[in-house]
Amino acid sequence: MSSEAFRIKLPATSANLGPGFDTLALALRLYLEVEAEAAASFSIEASGRNQDICGALEGNLLLETYSKTLTAAGRPVTPLRLRVHNEIPLGMGCGSSAAVRLAGVSLAAHFGGLGWDGARILTEASRLEGHPDNAAACWLGGFTASGMDESGVQAVSFAAPAEWRALVVMPQKPLATTASRAVLPERYSRADVVVNLQSVALLTAAFAARRADLLVHAMRDRIHQPYRAEVCPLLPALLPLAGQGGIPGVALSGAGPAVLALLASEEDIAGACERIREALPRGETVEILACELAPRRE
Ligand SMILES: Nc1ncnc2c1ncn2[C@@H]1O[C@H](COP(=O)(O)OP(=O)(O)OP(=O)(O)O)[C@@H](O)[C@H]1O
Ligand SMILES: N[C@@H](CCO)C(=O)O
């Protein structure tokens, strides 16, 4: 067990990127920062987005993950004084739950003296998530491909082109990942699976080869986006922008409801925001976050 203070900073992530359902994700330069020290009782000082949720002592995913992980490991739950600064939108498809679960597991590993390495922390958080894509990109940074089986998570990350930018287009209301997974079918046709296999391979190659021109083909998806359009109405409105002036690729961000637009450079941001606003359903109010891509963790 350790009584030393602990600090962690983890990025937002956009998972799937179109075809890579539960597999691919990209880290974004928006962060969750948690500082903790052992104390006589739990307290949280929250700043940034969603302070009500991030600062709650009841039903807080950070505290739940921390306590659950220590209890499962047979260790006492040391009360903590926490400072949480959050820039990641909650329930929008930007990996907020993966970041907070990784933070909670890391706190447990530290204060419980569990002796877990990074791979174990990533595996524990991914199991709590039910899929490794967000957690892998959050933990490793960059562009990440990941898989998970009973032995744990296997994940590889590499640096995404630093000059590319992400626009995250968010509606007013969040959508829980569980609700967005509930609309997906159990089975797919061979034709749909083949399209996604081709796209995943092409998309990974497009990031590695820094080929923004391939994104319009490589971000095609038939596994989750067609079904999620009903609960993510920004998607059908914005998907047709892919491949048009200054917006090489468009996909649902994670489980939605936000939409991710990938741009080849900073200069394209203003024009892309204008086209996105023109394409929105009438009366739809959105927040558009322009993000740099987060580097690979060293
Ligand atoms: N910093 C945080 N503090 C406390 N709870 C959080 C925090 N971040 C996320 N959560 C919890 O996670 C929920 C959102 O998780 P959910 O999996 O539904 O969406 P997401 O992770 O934001 O999006 P996606 O999984 O599609 O990328 C919030 O409603 C909240 O309960
Ligand atoms: N791959 C996950 C990401 C959201 O957590 C999904 O699409 O449901």
pLDDT over 90 (residue 283):
no
Asked which of 96, 128, 158 is the last residue of a domain, the reply is: 158
How would you label 224-251 residue by residue, b for 16+ Cβ within 10 Å and e otherwise? bbebbbeebbbbebbbebbeeebbbbbb
53 in the same domain as 19: yes
Q: Which of 82, 97, 291 to mutate to test the pocket of ligand 1 (most atoms within 8 A of CB)?
A: 97
Asked which of 135, 158, 181 is the last residue of a domain, the reply is: 158
> pLDDT for 13-54, tens place per residue?
999 999 999 999 999 999 999 999 999 999 999 999 999 999
Residue 297 lies in a domain: no
When divided into structural domains, the chain yields a total of 2
Residue 61: pLDDT band by 50, 70, 90 thresholds? very high
Give the CA angle between residues 97, 103, 105 to the nearest 5°.
Answer: 100
**Distance of CA 243 from the midpoint of ligand 1 (Å):** 31
228 in the same domain as 131: no
221 in the same domain as 148: no
153 in the same domain as 11: yes
198 in the same domain as 63: no
| ipTM value | 0.98
| Atom from ligand 1 closest to the CA of residue 103 | 1
The gap between the terminal CA atoms of the chain, to the nearest Å, is 26
The confidence score (pLDDT) of residue 121 equals 98
d(CA 56, CA 132): 26
Q: Which of 14, 16, 17 to mutate to test the pocket of ligand 2 (most atoms within 8 A of CB)?
A: 16
Q: For 54, list phi and psi in degrees, rounded to 5.
A: -70, -25
Q: For 244, list phi and psi in degrees, rounded to 5.
A: -100, 160
Q: How far out from the chain centre does Cα 266 lie?
A: 21
Question: Could you list the residue range(s) of the whole structural domain that residue 227 is in?
Answer: 165-292
> pLDDT for 125-183, tens place per residue?
999 999 999 999 999 999 999 999 999 999 999 999 999 999 999 999 999 999 999 99
CB 259 within 8 A of CB 229: no
Q: For 167, list phi and psi in degrees, rounded to 5.
A: -105, 130
| Atom from ligand 1 closest to the CA of residue 97 | 21
Residue 6: pLDDT band by 50, 70, 90 thresholds? very high
The confidence score (pLDDT) of residue 154 equals 98
132 in the same domain as 14: yes
CB count in 10 Å sphere of residue 2: 13
190 in the same domain as 272: yes
Asked which of 115, 139, 158 is the last residue of a domain, the reply is: 158
Q: Any idea what the CATH number is for the domain that residue 188 is in?
A: 3.30.70.890
d(CA 287, CA 121): 33
**Distance of CA 160 from the midpoint of ligand 2 (Å):** 20
217 in the same domain as 89: no
Contacts of 56 (CB under 8 A, 6+ apart): 44
pLDDT over 90 (residue 282):
no
The confidence score (pLDDT) of residue 3 equals 76
Instruction: Tell me if 221 CB under 6 Å of ligand 2.
Output: no
